[in-house]
């Protein structure tokens, strides 16, 4: 008889250990999943820090409710389970008015508090300071273009920001709905064709952060990533000055699209290896494959053979240059719409153009 009682106690203890282990597992898996960058729970701006604080507050409240409710449920399951030595009818309880009022009022108070805190956080993030640095963001299938105030500087898939200075973003899209998101710096903001949304934040920790599109926008949505380089103000100013000087040396400064395509005989000799790096960094790979698979644009497989006889009076190299600088002049069969950016004339230097041509002529 004694051994039977001990065995039951042991079984009961094992059940409690299993329940606690499952509880710990349920709590730890999301924490581990959110612990590594790029995570909004590793904030690098004041706005992201406020969002993280709000998340932790909601998580703490939810955890208290979860432990209380599940604890009472598990207790009731084991405390009032049917006994092996009896089958009597358990006591029937109608209810408890005080308890029912409490579990109605307390959640209502919690929701009211969360509403006020959330509204306060949203209001603080809504209006950018007047001295904010202005950056225009434009989403494309599938890359991002960033324009820095009235400097004429444009970057693609790499965003440079000054540290400890408010930056306001005006966000739109060229084609479909995208969503601009840098998890460690700021909340999501939709990029909508024909409409401008704004958001802002103050990056306070220099470093490189991962940005992404947070709205499914097509088959290459997964590749719509960008890097955010946060640097001290003097470093950022030096970079802007350097880019302004370089922009004066672009093929067609300030022209979108390029009005006059230069003769490829006047550009430097190209380096195919550098051209491949540009194919990756300039977003070409998002729309043009190298293996023959169709994307939003035609594949580059066999491109050099197709380019040779594409237009009268132009060599293959000249046609490639023309296609890059004035893409809407040519529409490949099966691709009736021109969605390729026409900004490369004001972002590519002569050497970069020749490097791209050298790489494409190897395909």
Domain ranges of the chain: 2-79+98-126, 133-247, 264-360
Interior angle at CA 222, CA 219 and CA 226, nearest 5: 130
Q: How many angstroms separate the CA atoms of 278 and 353, rounded?
A: 9
Percent of the chain topping pLDDT 90: 21
**Residue-wise pLDDT tens digits, 275-333:** 888 888 777 887 888 888 877 788 888 888 888 777 777 888 888 888 888 888 888 88
Cα 270 → chain centroid: 34
- Residue in 344, 347, 153 with CA at minimum distance from that of residue 241: 153
Architecture of the domain spanning 264-360: Orthogonal Bundle (1.10)
**Residue-wise pLDDT tens digits, 110-145:** 899 889 988 888 887 778 888 899 999 999 888 898
* Three-class SS state of 149: coil
**Residue-wise pLDDT tens digits, 190-217:** 999 999 999 999 998 899 999 999 999 8
* Three-class SS state of 340: coil
Q: What pLDDT sits at residue 31?
A: 52
Query: Which pLDDT band, with edges at 50, 70 and 90, does 37 fall under?
Result: low
* Three-class SS state of 190: strand
Architecture of the domain spanning 2-79+98-126: Orthogonal Bundle (1.10)
CATH 2.60.40.420 fits 133-247, yes or no: yes
Q: How many angstroms separate the CA atoms of 53 and 59, rounded?
A: 10
Rounded to an integer, the average pLDDT of 241-249 is 81
Query: Which pLDDT band, with edges at 50, 70 and 90, does 102 fall under?
Result: confident
Q: What pLDDT sits at residue 27?
A: 61
Query: Do residues 324 and 252 touch, judged by C-beta distance below 8 A?
Result: no
**Residue-wise pLDDT tens digits, 156-172:** 889 999 999 999 999 99
Q: Give me 32's structure tokens.
A: 């581990």
């Amino acid at each position: 008889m004694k051994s039977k009682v001990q065995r039951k106690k042991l079984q009961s203890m094992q059940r409690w250990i299993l329940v606690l282990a499952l509880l710990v597992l349920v709590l730890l898996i999301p924490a581990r999943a959110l612990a590594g960058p790029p995570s909004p729970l590793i904030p690098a701006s004041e706005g992201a820090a406020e969002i993280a604080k709000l998340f932790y507050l909601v998580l703490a409240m939810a955890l208290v409710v979860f432990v209380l409710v599940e604890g009472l449920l598990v207790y009731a399951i084991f405390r009032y389970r049917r006994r092996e030595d009896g089958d009597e009818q358990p006591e029937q309880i109608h209810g408890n008015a005080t308890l029912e009022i409490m579990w109605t009022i307390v959640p209502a108070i919690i929701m009211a508090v969360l509403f006020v805190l959330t509204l306060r956080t949203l209001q603080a993030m809504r209006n950018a300071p007047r001295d904010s640095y202005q950056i225009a963001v434009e989403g494309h299938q599938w890359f991002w273009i960033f324009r820095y105030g009235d400097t004429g500087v444009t970057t693609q898939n790499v965003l440079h920001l000054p540290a400890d200075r408010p930056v306001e973003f005006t966000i739109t899209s060229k084609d479909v709905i995208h969503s601009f998101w840098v998890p460690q710096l700021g909340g999501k903001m939709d990029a909508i064709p024909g409409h401008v949304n704004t958001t802002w934040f103050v990056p306070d920790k220099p470093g490189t952060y991962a940005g992404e599109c947070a709205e499914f926008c097509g088959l290459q949505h997964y590749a719509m990533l960008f890097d955010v380089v946060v640097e001290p103000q003097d470093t950022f100013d030096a970079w802007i000055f350097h880019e302004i000087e370089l922009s004066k040396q672009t093929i067609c400064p300030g022209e979108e699209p390029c009005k006059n395509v230069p003769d490829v005989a006047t550009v430097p000799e190209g380096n195919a290896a550098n051209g491949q790096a540009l194919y990756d960094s300039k977003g070409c790979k998002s729309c043009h494959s190298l293996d023959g698979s169709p994307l939003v644009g035609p594949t580059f497989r066999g491109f050099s053979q197709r380019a040779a006889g594409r237009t009268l009076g132009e060599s293959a190299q000249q046609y490639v240059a023309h296609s890059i600088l004035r893409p809407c002049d040519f529409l490949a069969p099966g691709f009736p719409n021109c969605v390729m950016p026409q900004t490369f004339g004001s972002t590519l230097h002569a050497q970069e153009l020749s490097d791209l041509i050298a790489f494409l002529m190897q395909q």
